[in-house]
């Protein structure tokens, strides 16, 4: 399909055309890589430092908010950042995001209370959420065709790599320096990235009035934040049937309904409703959503399996995950090349099927599974992910005109992040419910055999079975905790706990497989898509989307 631009382009098109004129492409790409890596790292790097932070600042009950605050703001701002990039230009939005990220990082490092740190983490998340889609948008601007596919794969792999190495980097910084440097390290890196991006991108001024969809922004923020809060705290801090959780779900539904209505009426919507009438847009984002749900089944729960069942250390379990990222990086780069030979639809289908095979292999893992075998399974999953992830952005960028590049690119990132949140919640619920049943049936009767003086411990463990089985597994399988029990009870209890953990994680992997298969079933709905290696023509003439569709 082709898109035709008028001889007198609109403000958006003119702004975008000028904004993507680069002075020094090499400097720009270097700045994008640096910003992408450290922006993605910040989402996971803090986890390792949390014990030190809480030990110094206190506020153990608020510890989870250090992650939740960042996740809320970084996810919610993504579609807004994409729209602003189309309205105001790439450079102004990206540099603003970098500055917010650095200011937030500096304030996090200087925090004196846990409440201050949580607030500044939210501010830092705003900057990080602006930075994430901008790299993909700019790559879509400065490259077309095969080069675009290659670089989208590289940047997608960088984001995935950061999610795995983040905890290890955080541990190294905390051990070598202190927790403050987990945040301060972003300052010199951010300054370098800002300079490189500022030199590489040409700033522009919008021509004509710029209309901001304030009502759309407000209803989307309320709706998404309410939904994320309900998913985060449902089943942990509050029961799913409690009024706070139900209230947040109701508020989310009302706000998002209002958002859809507003977006259908406003002249400059954040996320135009008409895009969902486009089959490519809807199907691609649906695939990304379901893939992200399943993907978190591997990233979150495989380390727990290796530590709790196989009995290796936390750092060793991290090395088991490394092959997933290495394979994903290689497959992303290769996939960006072969997609022009086999087509995006076939490559997407192959990638999703390979991911499904990987999840099927996860369900066969047992107490006898070796690190090598687990690493092999991770390589299979990484291969599938690497073939799929670059296409989720590439197909959208090649299917829409440049004036909508920011909106469609940020939408891909947004739906994947929402999918990841759903994945953590749904798969966590599956594990907790299965664990509750198994441990209540098999472990509690054994614990009741303890002498009378062990009653307090029995009550504590029984309560944990119903509220936080994951923490219970970690505690009951640690040598320090087990040393408090009689030796004969350990021999009875540990096999029961491990058996429950294996069965619970198998249930998680089966559900993850189900969501990956749902994504795979969507791929035939893409229709016939053919990427064409040809540059876009100059404005005023036909602008090829580089995609021929039926």
Dihedral (Cα; 269, 270, 272, 276), 10-degree rounding: -160
What residues have CB less than 8 Å from 411, skipping those under 6 apart? 79, 82, 271, 275, 281, 285, 396
User: pLDDT by residue (tens digit) across 225-259?
Assistant: 898 888 878 776 788 888 989 999 999 999 999 99
* CA atoms of 186 and 70, how far apart (whole Å): 15
Q: What is the DSSP letter of 547?
A: E
- β-partners of residue 549 are 529
Beta strands (DSSP E) in 378-485 are none
- Estimate the crossing angle of helix 487-522 against helix 344-362, to 10 degrees: 160
Q: What is the DSSP letter of 544?
A: E
**How sure is the predictor about 542, in pLDDT bands with cuts at 50, 70 and 90?**
very low
Q: Is it the case that residue 22 has pLDDT exceeding 60?
A: no
pLDDT in the model for residue 532: 58
Measuring CA to CA, which residue among 315, 363, 294 is closest to residue 515? Answer: 294
Please tell me whether the overall predicted TM-score, pTM, comes out greater than 0.85 for this model: no
Q: Is it the case that residue 352 has pLDDT exceeding 60?
A: yes
Q: Is it the case that residue 16 has pLDDT exceeding 50?
A: no
Residue 509: in which H helix or E strand, if any?
helix 487-522
Q: Is it the case that residue 3 has pLDDT exceeding 50?
A: no
Measuring CA to CA, which residue among 212, 222, 225 is closest to residue 258? Answer: 222
DSSP for 107-173? Answer: HHHT--SHHHHHHHHHHHHHHHHHHHHHHHHHHHHH--HHHHHHHHHHHHHHHHHHHHHHHHHHHHH
Contact call for residues 504 and 323 (beta carbons, < 8 A): no
User: pLDDT by residue (tens digit) across 78-123?
Assistant: 888 888 888 888 888 899 999 999 999 999 999 988 889 989 999 9
Decide: residue 278, CB within 10 A, 0-12 exposed, 13-18 middle, 19+ buried: middle
Backbone CA torsion sign across 41, 62, 500, 497 = positive
What residues have CB less than 8 Å from 480, skipping those under 6 apart? none
Return mean pLDDT, the chain. 78
User: pLDDT by residue (tens digit) across 161-204?
Assistant: 776 677 677 777 777 788 888 888 889 888 998 998 888 887 65
Contact call for residues 192 and 37 (beta carbons, < 8 A): no
């Amino acid at each position: 399909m082709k898109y035709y631009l008028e001889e007198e382009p609109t403000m958006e098109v003119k702004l975008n055309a000028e904004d993507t004129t680069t002075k020094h492409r090499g400097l720009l790409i270097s700045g994008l890589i640096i910003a992408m890596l450290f922006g993605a790292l910040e989402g996971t790097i803090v986890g390792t430092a949390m014990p030190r932070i809480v030990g110094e600042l206190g506020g153990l009950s608020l510890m989870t908010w250090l992650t939740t605050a960042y996740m809320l703001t970084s996810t919610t701002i993504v579609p807004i950042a994409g729209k602003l990039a189309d309205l105001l230009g790439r450079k102004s939005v990206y540099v603003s995001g970098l500055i917010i990220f650095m200011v937030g990082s500096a304030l996090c490092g200087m925090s004196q209370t846990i409440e201050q740190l949580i607030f500044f983490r939210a501010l830092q998340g705003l900057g990080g959420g602006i930075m994430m889609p901008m790299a993909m948008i700019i790559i879509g601007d400065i490259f077309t065709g095969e080069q675009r596919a290659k670089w989208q794969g590289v940047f997608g792999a960088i984001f995935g790599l950061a999610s795995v190495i983040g905890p290890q980097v955080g541990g190294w910084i905390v051990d070598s320096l202190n927790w403050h440097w987990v945040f301060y390290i972003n300052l010199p890196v951010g300054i370098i990235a800002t300079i490189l991006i500022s030199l590489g991108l040409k700033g522009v001024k919008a021509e004509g009035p710029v209309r901001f969809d304030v009502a759309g922004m407000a209803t989307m923020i309320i709706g998404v934040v309410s939904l994320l809060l309900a998913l985060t705290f449902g089943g942990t801090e509050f029961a799913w049937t409690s009024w706070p959780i139900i209230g947040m779900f109701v508020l989310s539904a009302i706000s998002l309904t209002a958002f859809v209505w507003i977006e259908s009426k406003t002249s400059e919507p954040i996320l135009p409703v008409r895009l969902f009438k486009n089959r490519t847009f809807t199907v691609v984002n649906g695939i990304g959503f379901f893939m992200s749900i399943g993907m978190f089944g591997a990233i979150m729960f495989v380390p727990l399996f290796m530590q709790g069942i196989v009995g290796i250390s936390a750092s060793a379990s991290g090395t088991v995950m490394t092959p997933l990222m290495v394979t994903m990086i290689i497959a992303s780069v290769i996939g960006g090349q072969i997609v022009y030979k086999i087509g995006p639809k076939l490559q997407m289908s192959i990638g999703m099927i390979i991911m499904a095979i990987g999840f099927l292999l996860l369900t066969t893992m047992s107490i006898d599974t070796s690190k090598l075998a687990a690493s092999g399974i991770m390589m299979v999953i990484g291969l599938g992910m690497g073939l799929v992830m670059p296409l989720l952005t590439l197909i959208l960028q090649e299917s829409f005109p440049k004036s909508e590049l920011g909106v469609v690119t940020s939408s891909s990132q947004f739906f994947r992040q929402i999918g990841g949140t759903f994945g953590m919640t749904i798969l966590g619920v599956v594990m907790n419910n299965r664990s509750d049943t198994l441990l209540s049936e098999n472990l509690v009767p054994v614990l009741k055999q303890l002498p009378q003086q062990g009653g307090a411990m029995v009550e504590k463990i029984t309560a944990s079975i119903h509220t936080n089985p994951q923490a219970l597994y970690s505690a009951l399988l640690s040598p320090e905790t087990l040393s408090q029990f009689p030796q004969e009870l350990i021999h009875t209890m540990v096999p029961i706990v491990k058996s429950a953990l294996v069965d619970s994680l198998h249930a998680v992997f089966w559900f993850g497989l189900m969501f990956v298969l749902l994504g795979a079933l969507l791929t035939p709905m893409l229709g016939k898509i053919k990427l064409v290696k040809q540059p876009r023509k100059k404005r005023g003439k036909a602008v090829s989307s580089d995609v021929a569709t039926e």
